[in-house]
Amino acid sequence: MLRELQDKILKLKKEKNIAILAHSYQSTDILEIADFRGDSYQLSVIAKELDCETVIMCGVKFMAETLKMLSPEKKVILPIAQATCPMAEQISPERVVQFKKENPTFKVVAYINTTAELKAVCDVCVTSSSALKIVSALDTKDILFIPDKNLGAYISSQLPQKNIVLWDGYCPIHDAVTVKDCIEAKQLHPNAKVLMHPELPPEVLAYGDVIGSTTAIINYALDTDDECIIGTEKSIADFLKLQKPDGKFYLLSKKLMCPDMRMTTLSDVYAAMISDSGHEVILSDELLAAARKPIDEMIRLGG
Ligand code: SF4
């Protein structure tokens, strides 16, 4: 049944010249039929080069928006309109504008997990893999980092020369992991390396052997012969097991499951292909131009 649906999607994809992009946190059955898999920024860059009119982005809303910003001429569809990242809206654009007025020496750095409206009022975007490089390259000491206080705190710990003010936002999935979870996982798997995403709280990151983006975690886990405890969304552990069946991968905590990332099913992808259902990302020219600026700045600074 599942295989049948996957075959239908693969056939339709060719007939209609549609590209399917899937964030690494998507379910395995979607990852299997996607043309490309990766993090939100990697996928946006890939989409730019694709020779197709329509792209289906399996992930959450800010990812589809970022893709649209880099490929405004393409039709970008998010199969499920309700799939959003709660962290992306934890600060309003008005608050950022107000902060900038009150603190003119500051530059505002936005994690890519933000809405288009938020990006439009920020100075530069970062991904979890580029944040250190970009923040370090900024020509100002004073920085407001939004919205993820955990990623911001990690960057701040690595760049003590910068004055980084953190917003009180967080990923509710990663932020829920505790020190107790780390101790239990280490007791169960004492020889395993602990690979952690910097969206985890600082006291949890203290237990990490490797701290890095989703891509860095995947690359490390695929390369090593060690057992690995995976400290990010469960789908990464599932993906690793699929890629390396003889590898030993354990999830750091059962809490690491994002309901928004799991909202899109294979049937939703199929429905979006046959009936143009789903949510087409429409951004006004003005918003598109303003939101694109911090992305371009990220690219200029080597992100
Ligand atoms: S895992 Fe966290 S950051 Fe990623 S989409 Fe879910 S809520 Fe947002």
pTM of the prediction?
Answer: 0.93
Residues 9, 266 contacting (CB under 8 angstroms): yes
Confidence class for position 276, pLDDT limits 50, 70, 90: low
pLDDT at 76: 95
For the Cβ of 151 lying below 6 angstroms from any atom of ligand 1, the answer is: no
277 has pLDDT over 80: no
Say which CATH topology domain 179-251 has. Rossmann fold (3.40.50)
SS3 96: helix
Nearest atom of ligand 1 to the alpha carbon of 87: 8
For the Cβ of 260 lying below 6 angstroms from any atom of ligand 1, the answer is: yes
Q: What burial letters (b/e) apply to 9-40, b meaning 16+ CB within 10 Å?
A: beeebeeeebbbbbbbbbbeebbbbbbebbbb
Residue extent(s) of CATH 3.40.50.10800 domains in the chain: 2-84+261-282, 87-171+287-300, 179-251
Residues 29-66 pLDDT 10s: 999 999 999 888 888 889 889 999 999 999 999 999 99
Round to whole Å and give the CA distance between 17 and 136.
41
Class of domain 87-171+287-300: alpha beta
Instruction: Describe the crossing of helices 214-223 and 234-243 by its angle, rounded to 10 degrees.
Output: 30
Residues 58-75 pLDDT 10s: 999 999 999 999 999 999
Class of domain 2-84+261-282: alpha beta
Confidence class for position 242, pLDDT limits 50, 70, 90: confident
pLDDT at 41: 82
Place of tokens 């097991």: 241
Residues 252, 230 contacting (CB under 8 angstroms): yes
> Whose C-alpha lies nearest to ligand 1, atom 2?
171
231 has pLDDT over 80: yes
